[in-house]
Amino acid sequence: MTGGGGARRIADDVRSGARTARDVVEEHLTAIAAREPEIHAFNLVLADEARAAADAVDEVVARGDDPGPLAGVPLALKDNMCTRGIVTTCSSRILEGWRPPYDATVVERVRAAGAVVIGKTNLDEFAMGSSTENSAFGPTRNPHDPTRVPGGSSGGSAAAVAAGFAPLALGSDTGGSIRQPAALCGVVGVKPTYGVVSRYGLIAFASSLDQIGPFAATVEDAAVLLEAIGGHDPCDSTSIARPAPSLLAGLDDGVSGLRVGIVDEMTEIDGIEPRVREAVRAAAGGLEAAGAKVDTVSVPSATYGIAAYYLIAPAEASSNLARYDGVRYGLRVDAEDVAHMNAATREAGFGREVKRRIMLGTYALSAGYYDAYYGQAQRVRTLILRDFERVYEQFDVLIAATSPTVAFELGAKTADPLAMYLCDVCTVPANLSGHPAMSVPFGTGEGGLPIGVQVLAPALGEATMFRVARAIEQAAGKTP
């Protein structure tokens, strides 16, 4: 569904003078004007700012200089990444109208690479959700079928790429919030190794799990963007002290001789649609035909991933969201004293799902329950990490389903939080381990809706992961 050419092609054309960045931006703004009222991918379209940024790129080209690897490429930002002087809301009333005094590191890096920020995308409030229906500003719709969800929490970013509003977008992935919407919208989505991309300026949900990553129409374009945003950042204490991963150089090296494991617990479990399971097997067949050695493998503790995640993530959220108190920034509801003002502000500012997770997390951290819930969940997390490390002694990469289903109808799961949480069953293990994982489109399921196949790799294994993803993408092109 994407239009306007791939990101790398656009950048090459802009650098060579074959196209102007201004023309590229106008083309994408036209696409936004045509479908955005139907899709609602954006909380804010930055039309004037994008035009000015494009003109600046064109001036650099006119001087004979290189604007960077993303020269003139429109890029959408999830609205939980700080943009200096530009409203950043996390799709929450509690931050409505707040203008950060600084840019997130990833925002600085994409601009330095020549990208043009075209808008801030909608998300589940504070990134808590799997459907982008929890936004205070209304749901985003799937461009393939507007009666369906785009996935979440980065549904706006996934929809923006799928609809052709921008060739590239950034999202954040705490439990699958890049990969799951990428699968449901039929685009590529990447969660890098924890610490490969700076979290400075990403408004926190669960700090030990959150990671920023790219959306793109192709594996190659995702590689270009990850190379641009990766690398050490002294502003982030969890940032890994090494350069950005080199991905493009080996992207087409093939998969001959690589050992690929199909994860039983993330492909054969109850609730996975048959067409999704078949897509994983077909992708495995494509890798085998390309020379990889494929076998099934068990990661037993992965079955506990959802239970551990929904204790750890809400616990961290309850701590991180304590800062929204009506005093320092954002919404304030006046009351007779500070305690009542704080309570009234949080009652009015947070939506139902955020309140639910704050309560879950506060309970899990409370005296008398900490060891039984949060402490135990952290021990399970360690077990999951060790199981994956053991499996990676035998396999170079793993593959699995990304989402157990194709995009479901708007409203289908909003009344059943547990059913919504189970959307993340295949994605949360990689967040708990901190390892990289990505979703690649592979075929279609019910109603012709996209299916995503997930590729997982050991820590800092992005280069091999991208090679395998490229091979799956090529196999998908041969699949009817």
| 400 and 367 share one domain | no
Domain at 119, CATH number: 3.90.1300.10
Q: Identify whether 290 is part of a domain.
A: yes
| 134 and 224 share one domain | yes
| 389 and 267 share one domain | yes
Residue 337 burial (CB count, 10 A): 7
- What is the enclosing helix (H) or strand (E) of 276? helix 274-289
Residue % of the chain over a pLDDT of 90: 96
- Quick check: 399 and 260 in contact, CB under 8 A? yes
Q: Identify whether 320 is part of a domain.
A: no
Q: Which amino acid is at 462?
A: E
| 329 and 190 share one domain | no
**pLDDT score of 270:** 86
Q: List the one residue out of 191, 190, 76, 192 whose CA is nearest residue 123.
A: 76
Q: Identify whether 392 is part of a domain.
A: yes
Mean pLDDT to the nearest integer, 381-388: 98
Place 4 in a pLDDT band, splitting at 50, 70 and 90: low
Known catalytic residue: 478? no
Q: Identify whether 165 is part of a domain.
A: yes
Domain range for residue 294?
259-307+373-440+451-460
- Tens of pLDDT along 97-137? 899 999 999 999 999 999 999 999 999 999 999 999 999 99
| 383 and 359 share one domain | no
Q: Active site residue: 91, 153, 403, 433, which one? A: 153
- Tens of pLDDT along 291-318? 999 999 999 999 999 999 999 999 999 9
Distance CA 446, CA 420 (A): 19
| 195 and 302 share one domain | no
Query: What is the average pLDDT score of the chain?
Result: 96
How far is Cα of residue 229 from the mean position of the Cα atoms in its chain? 14
Cβ contacts of 462 within 8 Å, gap of 6 or more: 192, 193, 196, 226, 245, 247, 436
SS3 content of the chain, % helix, strand, coil (to 5): 45, 15, 40
| Inter-axis angle of helices 462-477 and 274-289, nearest 10 | 100
- Quick check: 407 and 445 in contact, CB under 8 A? no
| 70 and 129 share one domain | yes
- Tens of pLDDT along 149-200? 999 999 999 999 999 999 999 999 999 999 999 999 999 999 999 999 999 9
Known catalytic residue: 78? yes
Known catalytic residue: 355? no
Q: Active site residue: 92, 157, 177, 198, which one? A: 177
Strand order in the sheet with 116-121: 42-45, 116-121, 74-78, 168-172, 212-216, 188-191, 437-444, 450-456, 397-401, 259-263, 293-297
- Quick check: 457 and 465 in contact, CB under 8 A? yes
| 42 and 115 share one domain | yes
Distance CA 189, CA 348 (A): 33
| 384 and 417 share one domain | yes
Structural domains counted in the chain: 3
| 163 and 222 share one domain | yes
| 298 and 336 share one domain | no
Q: Identify whether 50 is part of a domain.
A: yes
- Tens of pLDDT along 247-285? 999 999 999 999 999 999 999 888 999 999 999 999 999
Whole-structure pTM value: 0.97
What is the CB-side half-sphere exposure of residue 221 using CA atoms within 13 A? 30
